[in-house]
Protein backbone atom coordinates (compact mmCIF):
# COMPACT_ATOMS: atom_id res chain seq x y z
CA UNK A 1 0.00 0.00 0.00
CA UNK A 2 1.21 3.44 -0.93
CA UNK A 3 0.35 6.35 1.36
CA UNK A 4 1.32 9.98 1.49
CA UNK A 5 -0.06 12.45 4.01
CA UNK A 6 -0.23 16.13 4.69
CA UNK A 7 -2.04 18.38 7.11
CA UNK A 8 -1.30 16.59 10.39
CA UNK A 9 0.66 19.54 11.78
CA UNK A 10 -2.50 21.18 13.04
CA UNK A 11 -2.35 24.20 10.74
CA UNK A 12 -5.55 26.21 10.46
CA UNK A 13 -7.86 24.92 7.76
CA UNK A 14 -8.31 27.11 4.74
CA UNK A 15 -12.04 26.44 4.72
CA UNK A 16 -14.70 26.28 7.40
CA UNK A 17 -16.33 22.88 7.80
CA UNK A 18 -19.99 23.33 6.94
CA UNK A 19 -22.88 22.32 9.15
CA UNK A 20 -23.71 19.73 6.51
CA UNK A 21 -20.34 18.06 6.93
CA UNK A 22 -20.58 18.16 10.72
CA UNK A 23 -23.99 16.55 10.58
CA UNK A 24 -22.83 13.93 8.10
CA UNK A 25 -19.90 12.98 10.34
CA UNK A 26 -22.35 11.69 12.95
CA UNK A 27 -23.65 9.03 10.58
CA UNK A 28 -26.79 8.69 8.50
CA UNK A 29 -29.89 6.63 9.19
CA UNK A 30 -30.35 3.68 6.88
CA UNK A 31 -33.18 5.39 4.99
CA UNK A 32 -30.99 8.42 4.25
CA UNK A 33 -28.01 6.29 3.21
CA UNK A 34 -30.28 4.17 1.01
CA UNK A 35 -31.76 7.26 -0.67
CA UNK A 36 -28.30 8.65 -1.40
CA UNK A 37 -27.10 5.33 -2.82
CA UNK A 38 -30.15 4.91 -5.04
CA UNK A 39 -29.85 8.46 -6.34
CA UNK A 40 -26.35 7.64 -7.57
CA UNK A 41 -27.05 4.11 -8.76
CA UNK A 42 -30.23 5.11 -10.56
CA UNK A 43 -28.60 7.92 -12.54
CA UNK A 44 -28.62 7.01 -16.22
CA UNK A 45 -25.20 8.58 -16.71
CA UNK A 46 -23.68 6.29 -14.07
CA UNK A 47 -25.26 2.93 -14.85
CA UNK A 48 -22.52 0.40 -15.43
CA UNK A 49 -19.95 2.81 -14.03
CA UNK A 50 -20.52 2.79 -10.24
CA UNK A 51 -20.66 -0.23 -7.93
CA UNK A 52 -21.97 0.01 -4.39
CA UNK A 53 -19.65 -1.48 -1.81
CA UNK A 54 -19.13 -1.39 1.95
CA UNK A 55 -21.56 -2.02 4.80
CA UNK A 56 -24.61 -0.70 2.99
CA UNK A 57 -24.35 -3.07 0.02
CA UNK A 58 -25.66 -6.32 1.59
CA UNK A 59 -28.62 -4.50 3.16
CA UNK A 60 -29.59 -2.75 -0.05
CA UNK A 61 -29.26 -5.99 -2.00
CA UNK A 62 -31.47 -7.86 0.48
CA UNK A 63 -34.11 -5.14 0.78
CA UNK A 64 -33.81 -5.18 4.58
CA UNK A 65 -33.27 -2.24 6.93
CA UNK A 66 -29.91 -2.40 8.70
CA UNK A 67 -31.32 -0.63 11.76
CA UNK A 68 -28.09 1.28 12.33
CA UNK A 69 -26.30 4.44 11.29
CA UNK A 70 -24.03 4.42 8.25
CA UNK A 71 -20.99 6.67 8.25
CA UNK A 72 -20.92 6.99 4.48
CA UNK A 73 -21.83 5.38 1.17
CA UNK A 74 -18.97 3.88 -0.83
CA UNK A 75 -18.78 3.24 -4.56
CA UNK A 76 -16.09 1.54 -6.60
CA UNK A 77 -15.67 3.10 -10.03
CA UNK A 78 -13.56 1.98 -12.99
CA UNK A 79 -10.70 4.40 -13.31
CA UNK A 80 -11.72 5.25 -16.88
CA UNK A 81 -15.23 6.20 -15.67
CA UNK A 82 -14.15 8.72 -13.03
CA UNK A 83 -14.56 11.71 -15.43
CA UNK A 84 -18.20 10.69 -15.94
CA UNK A 85 -18.70 10.67 -12.14
CA UNK A 86 -17.30 14.19 -11.80
CA UNK A 87 -19.43 15.39 -14.70
CA UNK A 88 -22.56 13.93 -13.12
CA UNK A 89 -21.75 15.47 -9.73
CA UNK A 90 -21.22 18.85 -11.35
CA UNK A 91 -24.49 18.57 -13.23
CA UNK A 92 -26.32 17.77 -10.01
CA UNK A 93 -24.69 20.67 -8.16
CA UNK A 94 -22.85 18.22 -5.89
CA UNK A 95 -19.26 18.67 -7.03
CA UNK A 96 -16.84 20.36 -4.61
CA UNK A 97 -13.23 20.59 -5.74
CA UNK A 98 -12.13 20.61 -2.08
CA UNK A 99 -13.44 17.04 -1.88
CA UNK A 100 -11.54 15.89 -4.99
CA UNK A 101 -8.29 13.96 -4.68
CA UNK A 102 -6.96 15.64 -7.83
CA UNK A 103 -6.57 18.91 -5.93
CA UNK A 104 -4.96 17.59 -2.74
CA UNK A 105 -1.63 19.19 -1.85
CA UNK A 106 -0.10 15.76 -1.30
CA UNK A 107 -1.12 14.62 -4.79
CA UNK A 108 1.72 16.24 -6.76
CA UNK A 109 1.25 13.87 -9.68
CA UNK A 110 -2.50 14.59 -9.86
CA UNK A 111 -3.18 10.87 -10.11
CA UNK A 112 -6.84 9.99 -9.64
CA UNK A 113 -7.55 8.70 -6.13
CA UNK A 114 -11.27 9.41 -6.30
CA UNK A 115 -13.73 12.10 -5.32
CA UNK A 116 -16.11 12.63 -2.41
CA UNK A 117 -19.46 14.42 -2.27
CA UNK A 118 -22.35 15.09 0.07
CA UNK A 119 -25.52 13.62 -1.39
CA UNK A 120 -28.69 14.34 0.54
CA UNK A 121 -26.64 15.06 3.64
CA UNK A 122 -24.77 11.74 3.39
CA UNK A 123 -21.02 11.49 2.61
CA UNK A 124 -20.49 9.51 -0.59
CA UNK A 125 -17.10 8.37 -1.86
CA UNK A 126 -16.21 7.31 -5.39
CA UNK A 127 -13.04 5.19 -5.38
CA UNK A 128 -11.34 4.21 -8.64
CA UNK A 129 -10.24 0.69 -9.47
CA UNK A 130 -8.40 -0.88 -12.38
CA UNK A 131 -6.67 -4.13 -13.28
CA UNK A 132 -3.02 -4.58 -14.17
CA UNK A 133 -1.19 -7.85 -14.73
CA UNK A 134 -3.90 -9.95 -13.13
CA UNK A 135 -4.06 -7.75 -10.04
CA UNK A 136 -6.84 -5.48 -8.76
CA UNK A 137 -5.64 -1.95 -8.01
CA UNK A 138 -7.83 0.09 -5.67
CA UNK A 139 -7.35 3.70 -4.74
CA UNK A 140 -8.93 5.97 -2.15
CA UNK A 141 -8.28 9.33 -0.55
CA UNK A 142 -8.76 10.46 3.03
CA UNK A 143 -9.73 14.12 3.27
CA UNK A 144 -8.86 16.64 5.92
CA UNK A 145 -12.47 17.83 6.04
CA UNK A 146 -13.59 14.35 7.11
CA UNK A 147 -10.56 12.71 8.73
CA UNK A 148 -8.53 15.70 9.92
CA UNK A 149 -5.74 14.97 7.44
CA UNK A 150 -5.22 14.32 3.73
CA UNK A 151 -3.89 10.95 2.57
CA UNK A 152 -3.72 8.85 -0.58
CA UNK A 153 -4.10 5.07 -0.46
CA UNK A 154 -3.41 2.44 -3.07
CA UNK A 155 -3.81 -1.32 -2.65
CA UNK A 156 -2.72 -4.00 -5.12
CA UNK A 157 -4.45 -7.38 -4.75
CA UNK A 158 -3.21 -10.17 -7.03
CA UNK A 159 -5.36 -12.95 -8.43
CA UNK A 160 -8.65 -10.99 -8.57
CA UNK A 161 -10.69 -10.88 -11.77
CA UNK A 162 -13.31 -8.21 -12.44
CA UNK A 163 -16.16 -10.70 -12.17
CA UNK A 164 -14.93 -11.57 -8.67
CA UNK A 165 -15.08 -7.93 -7.65
CA UNK A 166 -18.19 -6.34 -9.22
CA UNK A 167 -21.53 -7.54 -10.55
CA UNK A 168 -24.95 -6.32 -11.66
CA UNK A 169 -28.10 -6.86 -9.62
CA UNK A 170 -31.70 -5.84 -10.18
CA UNK A 171 -33.45 -3.72 -7.57
CA UNK A 172 -37.24 -3.26 -7.71
CA UNK A 173 -37.08 0.54 -7.70
CA UNK A 174 -34.23 1.22 -10.12
CA UNK A 175 -33.64 -1.89 -12.22
CA UNK A 176 -30.17 -3.21 -13.04
CA UNK A 177 -27.46 -1.50 -10.97
CA UNK A 178 -23.89 -2.18 -9.95
CA UNK A 179 -22.72 -3.79 -6.71
CA UNK A 180 -19.44 -5.07 -5.43
CA UNK A 181 -19.88 -8.80 -5.05
CA UNK A 182 -20.97 -9.86 -1.59
CA UNK A 183 -17.81 -11.96 -1.38
CA UNK A 184 -15.75 -8.81 -1.94
CA UNK A 185 -17.76 -6.90 0.67
CA UNK A 186 -17.33 -9.75 3.14
CA UNK A 187 -13.58 -9.94 2.53
CA UNK A 188 -13.21 -6.16 2.98
CA UNK A 189 -15.21 -6.27 6.21
CA UNK A 190 -13.14 -9.14 7.56
CA UNK A 191 -9.91 -7.30 6.83
CA UNK A 192 -11.01 -3.94 8.24
CA UNK A 193 -10.33 -4.69 11.90
CA UNK A 194 -13.21 -2.40 12.91
CA UNK A 195 -15.55 -3.59 15.69
CA UNK A 196 -18.64 -2.74 13.61
CA UNK A 197 -17.44 -5.11 10.89
CA UNK A 198 -16.84 -8.03 13.27
CA UNK A 199 -20.51 -8.59 14.16
CA UNK A 200 -24.00 -7.21 13.55
CA UNK A 201 -25.01 -7.21 17.23
CA UNK A 202 -22.80 -6.77 20.27
CA UNK A 203 -24.34 -8.38 23.34
CA UNK A 204 -23.75 -7.00 26.82
CA UNK A 205 -24.27 -10.20 28.78
CA UNK A 206 -26.63 -10.58 31.73
CA UNK A 207 -23.91 -11.14 34.29
CA UNK A 208 -21.80 -8.26 32.98
CA UNK A 209 -24.81 -5.94 33.17
CA UNK A 210 -25.49 -7.08 36.72
CA UNK A 211 -21.85 -6.73 37.72
CA UNK A 212 -21.68 -3.09 36.74
CA UNK A 213 -25.08 -2.48 38.33
CA UNK A 214 -24.04 -4.07 41.62
CA UNK A 215 -20.70 -2.31 41.70
CA UNK A 216 -22.46 1.00 41.07
CA UNK A 217 -24.62 0.33 44.14
CA UNK A 218 -21.78 -0.40 46.54
CA UNK A 219 -22.10 3.14 47.87
CA UNK A 220 -25.42 2.04 49.37
CA UNK A 221 -23.82 -0.92 51.11
CA UNK A 222 -20.96 1.26 52.32
CA UNK A 223 -23.28 3.98 53.66
CA UNK A 224 -26.14 1.86 55.00
CA UNK A 225 -24.92 -1.72 55.19
CA UNK A 226 -24.19 -1.41 58.91
CA UNK A 227 -27.65 -0.01 59.64
CA UNK A 228 -29.98 -2.19 57.59
CA UNK A 229 -29.63 -5.47 55.72
CA UNK A 230 -29.72 -4.87 51.96
CA UNK A 231 -31.41 -7.13 49.43
CA UNK A 232 -30.29 -7.12 45.79
CA UNK A 233 -33.06 -8.50 43.60
CA UNK A 234 -30.72 -9.80 40.90
CA UNK A 235 -32.99 -12.68 39.84
CA UNK A 236 -30.13 -15.01 38.94
CA UNK A 237 -31.00 -17.56 36.27
CA UNK A 238 -27.51 -18.82 35.41
CA UNK A 239 -23.90 -18.38 36.52
CA UNK A 240 -25.02 -18.67 40.12
CA UNK A 241 -21.62 -18.71 41.79
CA UNK A 242 -20.34 -15.74 39.80
CA UNK A 243 -23.38 -13.56 40.45
CA UNK A 244 -23.88 -14.51 44.09
CA UNK A 245 -20.18 -14.20 44.99
CA UNK A 246 -20.22 -10.77 43.36
CA UNK A 247 -23.37 -9.68 45.19
CA UNK A 248 -22.11 -10.72 48.60
CA UNK A 249 -18.68 -9.22 47.92
CA UNK A 250 -20.46 -5.93 47.13
CA UNK A 251 -21.98 -5.97 50.61
CA UNK A 252 -25.51 -7.28 50.07
CA UNK A 253 -27.05 -9.63 52.63
CA UNK A 254 -29.90 -11.09 50.58
CA UNK A 255 -29.72 -12.11 46.91
CA UNK A 256 -32.47 -13.59 44.74
CA UNK A 257 -32.34 -16.53 42.37
CA UNK A 258 -35.22 -17.63 40.19
CA UNK A 259 -36.91 -20.87 41.16
CA UNK A 260 -37.01 -21.75 37.47
CA UNK A 261 -33.19 -21.87 37.37
CA UNK A 262 -31.46 -25.24 37.03
CA UNK A 263 -30.69 -27.28 40.13
CA UNK A 264 -27.03 -26.69 39.40
CA UNK A 265 -27.55 -22.94 39.57
CA UNK A 266 -29.63 -23.17 42.77
CA UNK A 267 -26.99 -25.36 44.41
CA UNK A 268 -24.22 -22.94 43.38
CA UNK A 269 -26.16 -20.02 44.86
CA UNK A 270 -26.81 -21.93 48.08
CA UNK A 271 -23.10 -22.76 48.42
CA UNK A 272 -22.16 -19.11 47.84
CA UNK A 273 -24.69 -17.93 50.42
CA UNK A 274 -23.28 -20.34 52.99
CA UNK A 275 -19.68 -19.34 52.26
CA UNK A 276 -20.47 -15.63 52.61
CA UNK A 277 -22.89 -15.99 55.53
CA UNK A 278 -25.59 -14.48 53.34
CA UNK A 279 -29.15 -15.50 52.55
CA UNK A 280 -30.49 -16.93 49.31
CA UNK A 281 -34.04 -15.96 48.36
CA UNK A 282 -35.66 -18.27 45.81
CA UNK A 283 -38.17 -16.33 43.72
CA UNK A 284 -41.11 -18.64 42.95
CA UNK A 285 -42.51 -16.45 40.18
CA UNK A 286 -44.48 -18.73 37.79
CA UNK A 287 -43.28 -21.90 39.57
CA UNK A 288 -45.97 -24.58 39.76
CA UNK A 289 -46.41 -27.02 42.66
CA UNK A 290 -44.36 -29.73 40.99
CA UNK A 291 -41.43 -27.35 40.56
CA UNK A 292 -41.67 -26.07 44.14
CA UNK A 293 -41.74 -29.65 45.42
CA UNK A 294 -38.57 -30.39 43.48
CA UNK A 295 -36.63 -27.38 44.73
CA UNK A 296 -38.05 -27.27 48.26
CA UNK A 297 -35.05 -28.84 49.98
CA UNK A 298 -32.86 -25.78 50.57
CA UNK A 299 -33.44 -25.50 54.29
CA UNK A 300 -31.61 -22.20 54.78
CA UNK A 301 -33.20 -20.46 51.82
CA UNK A 302 -36.13 -18.05 51.93
CA UNK A 303 -38.85 -18.93 49.42
CA UNK A 304 -40.61 -15.89 47.97
CA UNK A 305 -44.25 -16.09 46.89
CA UNK A 306 -44.17 -13.50 44.15
CA UNK A 307 -47.02 -12.10 42.09
CA UNK A 308 -45.67 -10.20 39.08
CA UNK A 309 -46.55 -6.58 38.40
CA UNK A 310 -47.93 -7.59 35.01
CA UNK A 311 -50.27 -10.16 36.58
CA UNK A 312 -51.73 -7.75 39.15
CA UNK A 313 -51.80 -7.92 42.92
CA UNK A 314 -52.72 -10.97 44.97
CA UNK A 315 -56.23 -10.55 46.36
CA UNK A 316 -55.53 -12.57 49.51
CA UNK A 317 -51.81 -12.93 50.26
CA UNK A 318 -52.53 -14.13 53.79
CA UNK A 319 -54.65 -17.00 52.46
CA UNK A 320 -52.00 -17.70 49.82
CA UNK A 321 -49.33 -18.11 52.50
CA UNK A 322 -51.58 -20.32 54.64
CA UNK A 323 -52.28 -22.61 51.68
CA UNK A 324 -48.61 -22.68 50.77
CA UNK A 325 -47.61 -23.80 54.27
CA UNK A 326 -50.17 -26.59 54.18
CA UNK A 327 -48.93 -27.75 50.76
CA UNK A 328 -45.19 -27.45 51.54
CA UNK A 329 -44.67 -27.92 55.29
CA UNK A 330 -40.95 -28.57 54.73
CA UNK A 331 -40.41 -24.96 53.68
CA UNK A 332 -40.09 -22.91 56.84
CA UNK A 333 -38.78 -19.53 55.62
CA UNK A 334 -41.20 -17.53 53.49
CA UNK A 335 -41.21 -14.10 51.88
CA UNK A 336 -44.01 -12.43 49.93
CA UNK A 337 -43.85 -9.82 47.16
CA UNK A 338 -46.17 -8.20 44.68
CA UNK A 339 -48.75 -5.58 45.60
CA UNK A 340 -48.60 -6.13 49.36
CA UNK A 341 -50.65 -3.52 51.25
CA UNK A 342 -49.94 -2.18 54.75
CA UNK A 343 -53.20 -3.54 56.17
CA UNK A 344 -52.13 -7.08 55.19
CA UNK A 345 -48.88 -7.04 57.15
CA UNK A 346 -50.26 -8.09 60.52
CA UNK A 347 -51.96 -11.12 59.01
CA UNK A 348 -48.80 -12.09 57.12
CA UNK A 349 -46.77 -11.79 60.32
CA UNK A 350 -49.27 -14.05 62.08
CA UNK A 351 -48.68 -16.67 59.36
CA UNK A 352 -44.95 -16.59 60.08
CA UNK A 353 -43.86 -14.68 56.97
CA UNK A 354 -40.25 -13.67 57.48
CA UNK A 355 -39.98 -10.93 54.82
CA UNK A 356 -42.66 -8.76 53.23
CA UNK A 357 -41.28 -6.92 50.20
CA UNK A 358 -43.11 -3.61 49.87
CA UNK A 359 -42.97 -1.61 46.66
CA UNK A 360 -45.40 1.11 45.67
CA UNK A 361 -47.05 1.15 49.11
CA UNK A 362 -43.86 2.80 50.30
CA UNK A 363 -42.26 4.38 47.24
CA UNK A 364 -45.44 6.19 46.16
CA UNK A 365 -46.23 7.54 49.61
CA UNK A 366 -46.01 11.28 50.23
CA UNK A 367 -43.52 10.61 53.04
CA UNK A 368 -41.48 7.52 52.14
CA UNK A 369 -39.59 7.31 55.44
CA UNK A 370 -42.79 7.59 57.46
CA UNK A 371 -44.50 4.96 55.31
CA UNK A 372 -41.59 2.57 55.83
CA UNK A 373 -41.68 3.05 59.61
CA UNK A 374 -45.44 2.51 59.67
CA UNK A 375 -45.12 -0.75 57.70
CA UNK A 376 -42.49 -1.99 60.09
CA UNK A 377 -44.72 -1.24 63.06
CA UNK A 378 -47.68 -3.06 61.46
CA UNK A 379 -45.52 -6.14 60.80
CA UNK A 380 -44.14 -6.28 64.36
Angle (CA) 135-140-143 rounded to 5° is 165
pLDDT digits (tens, 9 = 90+) for 26-62: 678 999 999 999 999 999 999 989 999 988 888 898 8
Give the lowest-confidence range in 120-134, 184-198, 333-347.
Answer: 184-198
Q: Tell me if the pTM is above 0.75.
A: no
For residues 357 and 349, the answer to whether their CB atoms sit within 8 Å is no
Name the band, by pLDDT with cuts 50, 70 and 90, for residue 15.
very low
Secondary structure of the chain: what % helix, strand, coil (to 5)? 40, 25, 35
Q: What is the pLDDT of residue 16?
A: 34
Among the residue ranges 64-78, 191-205, 246-260, the one predicted with the least confidence is 191-205
Position 10 pLDDT exceeds 50: no
Torsion of CA 216, 217, 220, 225, to 10 degrees: -120
pLDDT in tens, 184-213: 766 665 555 555 555 666 777 888 889 888
Within the chain, residue ranges assigned H as helices are 19-25, 30-41, 56-62, 82-91, 144-147, 162-165, 182-192, 195-198, 206-216, 218-224, 240-249, 263-276, 289-295, 317-327, 345-350, 360-363, 368-379
CB 217: neighbour CB atoms within 10 A? Answer: 16
Q: Quick one: what percent of the chain has pLDDT higher than 70?
A: 88
Q: What pLDDT digit, counting tens, does each position of 222-244 carry?
A: 888 778 899 999 999 999 999 99
> What is the structure's pLDDT at 339?
85
**Which position has the higher pLDDT, 265 or 68?**
265
Give burial (CB, 10 Å; 0-12/13-18/19+) of 121: middle
Residue count of the chain: 380
* Average predicted confidence (pLDDT) for the chain: 87
- What is the pLDDT at residue 313? 59
Amino acid sequence: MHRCETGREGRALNTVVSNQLESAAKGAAFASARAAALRVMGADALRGAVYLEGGLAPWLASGRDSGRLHGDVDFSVRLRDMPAVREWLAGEGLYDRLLDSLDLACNASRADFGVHAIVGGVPVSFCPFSFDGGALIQRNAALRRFEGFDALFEARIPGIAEEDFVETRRLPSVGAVGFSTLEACRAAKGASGRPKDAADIGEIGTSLTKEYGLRALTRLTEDYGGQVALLADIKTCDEGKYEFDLGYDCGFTYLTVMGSASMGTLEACAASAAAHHGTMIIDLLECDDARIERIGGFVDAVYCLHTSVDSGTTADPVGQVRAFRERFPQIRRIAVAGGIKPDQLAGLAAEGVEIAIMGSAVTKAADIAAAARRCKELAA
